Amino acid sequence: MKKCLLLLAAILIVVVSASVQAQGPAPKSTQSGNTLTARNLGVEPVKVATADPSYLIGADDVLSVVVWKEPEISRILPVRPDGKISLPLLSDLVAAGMTPTQLASAITSELRTILVNPQVTVIVTQTNSRRIYVLGEVTRAGTYPLVSDMTVLQALSTAGGFTAFANLNKIYVMRTENNQQEILRFRYKEVTSGIKPEQNIRLMPGDTVVVP
């Protein structure tokens, strides 16, 4: 009788083990499932260049436009010099001067004539329109992305500081507004000593810092 009970227990263990194996591995998390769904839709993860909701799109910026469940319309594309973008099935759309949310709403409105309940997401992947230039007697002259609230001092630091030949009293910022060029003086020692901190202005897109 005891042997029969042991044999029955062994059979039950084998049956339970086989049932568990047949069921396969546990379901993956919802996050993993969403990733697979995105890939099936032909949408690859994108790197966000700015998460600022008030960021205004400009010419040469690169955008990721994702239309949910419509991989043939979704695109990663640049903003043309005229400030417009082109998407399949749609005419040219003005993107420059809009926030990503505003552009997504504009695209959604256009797509409603073609699709049922379109869902659009716009992500800025490259902020090429927000650039400044640092020229002259600095260690690394060149073009730099304009980060939020960047000042002249911060731009000079980003460019690696001065060479031995820099004239610190004749630094200036060239700025163009309304087709008018303006020269803004910056005397390094007066700013760093606290005499005239107001010269350390916040830079704007397209500003050029010149170190003679």
Q: Tens digit of pLDDT for each residue in 178-196? A: 889 999 999 999 999 999 9
- For residue 20, report the phi and psi dihedrals to the nearest 5 degrees: -65, -45
Helix %, strand %, coil % for the chain, to 5? 30, 25, 45
Query: Are the C-beta atoms of residues 57 and 78 closer than 8 Å to each other?
Result: no
Look up the CATH superfamily of 44-126. Answer: wza like domain (3.30.1950.10)
- Which pLDDT does position 44 carry in this prediction? 53
Confidence at residue 14, expressed as pLDDT on a 0 to 100 scale: 46
What's the CA gap between 171 and 150, in Å, rounded?
A: 17
**What pTM, to 2 d.p., does this model score?**
0.62
CATH 3.40.630.30 fits 131-211, yes or no: no
Q: What is the pLDDT of residue 10?
A: 52
The pLDDT assigned to 178 comes to: 84
Hey, what are 26's tokens? 């546990």
SS3 assignment, position 111: helix
The residues that bridge with 126 in the sheet, in sequence order, are: 62
Predicted confidence at residue 52, as pLDDT, reads 82
Measure the N-to-C terminal CA separation of the chain; round to a whole number of Å. 103
Nearest residue to 50 via CA among 107, 111, 130, 104: 130
pLDDT of residue 51: 78
Q: What is the pLDDT of residue 177?
A: 86
Give how far the C-alpha of residue 99 lies from the chain's centroid of Cα atoms, to the nearest Å. 12
C-alpha pair distances (Å), 100 with each of 41, 42, 54, 63, 113: 22, 21, 8, 9, 21
Q: Domain boundaries in the chain?
A: 44-126, 131-211
Instruction: Using 70 as the pLDDT threshold, list the residues of the chain that sit under it.
Output: 1-46
State the pLDDT at residue 9.
Answer: 52
